[in-house]
Amino acid sequence: MTVLAFGARLAAEFAAGRHLCAGIDPHAPLLAYWGLADDAAGAERMGREVVAAAAGVAACVKPQVAFFERFGSAGFAALERVLADARDAGLLVVADVKRGDIGSSFGAYADAWLAPGSPLEADAMTAVAYQGFGSLAGAFAHVRDHGKGLFVLAATSNPEAREVQRAVRDDARSVARAMVEDAEAFNASAAPGAAAGAVGSVGVVLGATLDLADFGIDIAKPASGPTLPVLAPGFGHQGARIEQAAQIFGGIGHALLANESRSILAGGADGLAGRVRERAEAIAAALGASRV
């Protein structure tokens, strides 16, 4: 049985005009605004309502796992039900777990979040390659054989990250630039001779509020293989405007997942579907205009 690559599934979403990544962040203030208890049941209720609103409208949902994990086993059970709803709806899920380790330890993380049949199975996961891009090898089989994806943190908007992510390595690349280029190299090796318009299955996280040139990332450099998917937080509540996407990401932003969480969630349950649709349509219009 042929498994469709995560990048191919992303490409289908983009072709349909869907670029919104709807965040699921059930932290205490938002749960209170929704009139929900700060517990696993409240987190589950929010998560399942976001999934219902996003299905067929957003490209994917991104549950921030920490906000479920804080409730222990009950939180994980709640998250499993949210993930099951998304699978039933045919909605892509990026598990925002930001796991990073070496050898069999990272492999176990990858099995938890990417292995087919795992109770926590998602379509992709976020990862931290502080120990080097090669430390993510435990997930590569899931990417190649099971149609899964990775989003590797490259340049993030928190000020504490700048010193590390802008640091220059022995090969004269910044840490952030190395993450981008190593992800591009993996995609090229995984899909040699990919057709024009192909999207890779390994992407990067780049903050939309950043000047990427400060991190050594050349947004004008053409990709040497499949287009690099970019998961971009920072639009909406954090201040970045989706109309500036072409200016921010340049040639590496054609496969953009624009993450919005608080701008969608802060209004409470009432009107959620309308807000998701409004933001999805605004993002699609802005990205369409940026490619003219």
Residues 60 and 92: beta-carbon distance below 8 Å: yes
Place of tokens 């349509």: 281
62 given a catalytic annotation: no
Give the list of residues 6+ apart from residue 65 with CB closer than 8 angstroms, or none: 79, 95, 96, 97
Give the list of residues 6+ apart from residue 23 with CB closer than 8 angstroms, or none: 61, 62, 63, 64, 96, 259, 260, 261, 262, 264, 265
Per DSSP, 225 falls in state S
CA pair distance 67, 217, nearest whole angstrom: 31
Residues 84 and 48: beta-carbon distance below 8 Å: no
Structure tokens at 51: 């999934």
Q: Where would I find the beta strands (DSSP E) of the chain?
A: 20-24, 60-63, 92-99, 124-127, 149-155, 202-206, 229-232, 255-260
Measured between alpha carbons, how far is residue 12 from residues 7, 8, 65, 199, 287 in Å? Answer: 9, 6, 26, 10, 15
Tell me which of 62, 98, 148, 221 is the catalytic residue: 98
At 261, phi and psi to the nearest 5? -120, -70
Positions marked catalytic: 98
